[in-house]
């Protein structure tokens, strides 16, 4: 029988730009997500520099949560959610990003949203920004490659910390801040930092410049948040994809270990408050110049995080004998020397399904940082079909989530890892980040919306809705499920 701590938070996660729509509503300005086209399984999303009226941009309307949040929160309550992770759309609050005064229309929207959640007994868990920086900051300032943007971010953070200080306790600064270590994929630098790499530039150096500014921005925001409310819990948010050696060849074990620095670099700084020695050695070795100024070390030290929020979907494997990864696989964020893991099945989008990898991840993060962990994303992107009986029998999703919850329970009760909560990704169907598709669905609530933008936006409960309701009601003890197929 599985058992979870009494105060364990069961919830669901989304992000503003993938969910809200209302891209021009209430004074909102365009964001870096608003210029992303739709993609497909093996087709990368394109970044446009202006809105083309003849092109479909899936994030513009997303799933219209902006207008339907009350109806959706009523469903979350029925499901029993105790926590709801979303983000604040930066360009709703500062439409261009460099204004002094915030947009009251945007602030009011989140007041209403948080009030509605709280009135329904649901704790808001808030990411300051989840790939949503104002487009103007990217285009006019070059995004986080420019140190000025640090001040604009901190001003945004201070504004929302102050406004929602009595409504929100759990915060995270940047979503999946470590995604941009994959700097060869233009989408990650663009969405994380508003950065594009120009011809002839050293992409890695550009990435580390932006990274330094993001790390400063995060640290300054944490320190500001603590001044505003000492009860705030402010975490980092990282994407964690463990990298296994293909076999026990010592060189492979070392390769996997070294590859993990791609995941650990950001949290190493955010937790410890200084650059890890392997990074400093790398800068020296590869002649990478990072614009570290006098006083930056103190900033990083003064703004370390309280907890680690992380996403977990899959694991990777590497083999020193393999060729470097080819471009065809870049869309999945492939790493150098990546090989298939013969023991694991993959999703329709090529993501290796590995529940034990979640226990492994929890242990690695706990051992390395000794900070509480919060699983703020986990789930299966899959094609859902409406059956003849009009229902969505998503047993595959239930199976995925159940196996991951079982591993999480082992990590808590057997390994002794401190885990605050679990908010599976896309609790309601939304626009996929990497592919821009609606058909890559994660939700327990179906949304009638297709890849071409057609559909009524109507909501419908999937079988996983009832299953998760039972999981929450039993505080994770009852994970069983009898298929309705």
**Active site positions, annotated:** 176, 377
Output the smallest distance, CB 435 to ligand BG6, in A: 6
Cα(157)–Cα(162) distance, integer angstroms: 8
Comparison of 299 and 335: residue with beta carbon closer to ligand BG6: 335
Residue pointed to by tokens 């980092």: 236
Q: Strands, E, within 7-135: which ranges?
A: 9-13, 83-87, 123-129
Candidate ranges 166-174, 277-285, 287-295, 431-439; the one touching ligand BG6 (CB under 6 A): 431-439
Contacting residue, 103, 146, 173, 239, with ligand BG6 by CB under 6 A: 239
Closest of 258, 207, 206, 214 to residue 238, by C-alpha = 214
The count of residues interacting with ligand BG6 (CB under 6 A) is 14
- Rule CB under 6 A: say whether 440 interacts with ligand BG6: yes
- Rule CB under 6 A: say whether 190 interacts with ligand BG6: no
Identify the sign of the CA torsion 407, 484, 431, 339. Answer: positive
Identify the sign of the CA torsion 265, 271, 274, 277. Answer: negative
- Rule CB under 6 A: say whether 175 interacts with ligand BG6: yes
Beta-carbon contacts of 248 under 8 Å, excluding residues fewer than 6 positions away, are: none
Comparison of 213 and 440: residue with beta carbon closer to ligand BG6: 440
Closest of 379, 180, 360 to residue 262, by C-alpha = 180
Output the smallest distance, CB 123 to ligand BG6, in A: 19
Within 149-168, the residues that bind ligand BG6 by CB under 6 A are none
Candidate ranges 45-53, 206-214, 265-273, 429-437; the one touching ligand BG6 (CB under 6 A): 429-437
Identify the sign of the CA torsion 73, 77, 78, 81. Answer: positive
Closest of 369, 188, 183, 182 to residue 270, by C-alpha = 369
- Rule CB under 6 A: say whether 173 interacts with ligand BG6: no
* Interface pattern 303-322 for ligand BG6 (x via CB under 6 A): --------x-----------
Within 275-304, the residues that bind ligand BG6 by CB under 6 A are none
User: What secondary structure letter does DSSP report for 197?
Assistant: P
Closest of 457, 328, 326 to residue 64, by C-alpha = 457
209, containing H or E segment: helix 203-228
Comparison of 245 and 381: residue with beta carbon closer to ligand BG6: 381
Candidate ranges 47-55, 62-70, 151-159, 430-438; the one touching ligand BG6 (CB under 6 A): 430-438
- Rule CB under 6 A: say whether 76 interacts with ligand BG6: no
Output the smallest distance, CB 425 to ligand BG6, in A: 5
Residues 308 and 369: beta-carbon distance below 8 Å: yes
Comparison of 180 and 300: residue with beta carbon closer to ligand BG6: 180
Contacting residue, 242, 245, 381, 443, with ligand BG6 by CB under 6 A: 381
Region label for 142, one of left (φ > 0), alpha (ψ between -120 and 50) or beta (otherwise): left
- Rule CB under 6 A: say whether 433 interacts with ligand BG6: yes
Instruction: Name the closest residue to ligand BG6 (Cβ).
Output: 434
Identify the sign of the CA torsion 139, 142, 148, 151. Answer: positive
Candidate ranges 54-62, 266-274, 322-330, 425-433; the one touching ligand BG6 (CB under 6 A): 425-433
Closest of 13, 35, 67 to residue 133, by C-alpha = 35
Cα(7)–Cα(482) distance, integer angstroms: 28
- Rule CB under 6 A: say whether 432 interacts with ligand BG6: yes
Residues 57 and 36: beta-carbon distance below 8 Å: yes
Output the smallest distance, CB 31 to ligand BG6, in A: 13
Cα(235)–Cα(218) distance, integer angstroms: 9
- Rule CB under 6 A: say whether 434 interacts with ligand BG6: yes
Candidate ranges 151-159, 194-202, 265-273, 432-440; the one touching ligand BG6 (CB under 6 A): 432-440
- Rule CB under 6 A: say whether 146 interacts with ligand BG6: no
Output the smallest distance, CB 303 to ligand BG6, in A: 22
Q: Residue 67's CB: how many other CB atoms inside 10 A?
A: 13
Candidate ranges 95-103, 162-170, 286-294, 433-441; the one touching ligand BG6 (CB under 6 A): 433-441
Identify the sign of the CA torsion 193, 266, 150, 124. Answer: positive
Contacting residue, 319, 377, 407, 429, with ligand BG6 by CB under 6 A: 377
- Rule CB under 6 A: say whether 15 interacts with ligand BG6: yes
Comparison of 2 and 175: residue with beta carbon closer to ligand BG6: 175
Please report, as ranges, the residues that interact with ligand BG6 according to CB under 6 A.
Answer: 15, 18, 175-176, 239, 311, 377, 381, 425, 432-435, 440
């Amino acid at each position: 029988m599985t058992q979870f701590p009494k105060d364990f938070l069961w919830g669901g996660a989304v992000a503003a730009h993938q969910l809200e729509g209302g891209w021009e509503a209430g004074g909102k300005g365009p964001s870096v997500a608003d210029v992303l086209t739709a993609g497909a399984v093996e087709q990368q999303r394109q970044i446009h520099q202006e809105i083309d009226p003849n092109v479909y941009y899936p994030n513009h309307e997303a799933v219209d949560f902006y207008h339907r949040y009350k109806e959706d929160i009523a469903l979350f309550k029925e499901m029993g959610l105790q926590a709801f992770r979303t983000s604040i759309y930066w360009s709703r609050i500062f439409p261009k990003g460099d204004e002094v005064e915030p947009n009251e229309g945007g602030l009011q929207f989140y007041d209403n949203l948080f009030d509605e959640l709280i009135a329904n007994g649901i704790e808001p868990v808030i990411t300051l920004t989840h790939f949503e920086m104002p487009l103007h900051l990217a285009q006019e300032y070059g995004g986080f490659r420019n140190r000025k943007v640090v001040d604009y971010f901190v001003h945004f953070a201070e504004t929302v910390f102050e406004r929602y200080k009595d409504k929100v306790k759990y915060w995270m600064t940047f979503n999946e801040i470590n995604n941009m270590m994959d700097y060869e994929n233009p989408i990650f630098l663009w969405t994380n930092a508003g950065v594009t790499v120009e011809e002839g530039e050293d992409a890695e150096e550009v990435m580390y410049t932006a990274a330094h500014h993001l790390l400063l921005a995060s640290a300054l925001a944490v320190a500001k948040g603590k001044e505003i409310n000492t009860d705030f819990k402010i975490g980092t948010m990282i994407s964690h994809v463990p990298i296994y050696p293909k076999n026990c060849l010592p060189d492979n074990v070392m390769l996997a270990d070294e590859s993990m620095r791609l995941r650990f670099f950001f949290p190493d700084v955010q937790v410890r408050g200084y650059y890890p020695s392997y990074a400093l050695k790398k800068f020296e070795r590869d002649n990478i110049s990072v614009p570290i100024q006098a006083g930056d070390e103190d900033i990083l030290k003064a703004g370390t995080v309280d907890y680690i929020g992380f996403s977990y979907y899959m694991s990777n494997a590497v083999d020193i004998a393999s060729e470097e990864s080819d471009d065809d696989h870049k869309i999945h964020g492939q790493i150098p020397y990546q090989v298939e893991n013969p023991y694991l099945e993959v999703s329709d989008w090529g993501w290796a399904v590995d529940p034990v990898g979640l226990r492994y991840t929890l242990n690695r993060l706990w051992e390395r940082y000794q900070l509480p962990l919060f699983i703020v994303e986990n789930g299966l992107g899959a094609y859902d079909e409406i059956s003849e009986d009009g229902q969505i029998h998503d047993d595959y999703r239930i199976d995925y989530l159940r196996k991951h919850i079982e591993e999480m329970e082992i990590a808590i009760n057997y390994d002794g890892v401190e885990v605050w909560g679990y908010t599976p990704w896309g609790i309601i169907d939304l626009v996929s980040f990497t592919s821009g598709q609606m058909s890559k669905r994660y939700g327990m609530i179906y949304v009638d919306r297709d890849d071409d933008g057609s559909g009524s936006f109507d909501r419908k409960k999937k079988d996983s809705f009832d299953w998760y309701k039972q999981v929450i009601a039993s505080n994770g003890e009852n994970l069983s499920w009898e298929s309705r197929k």
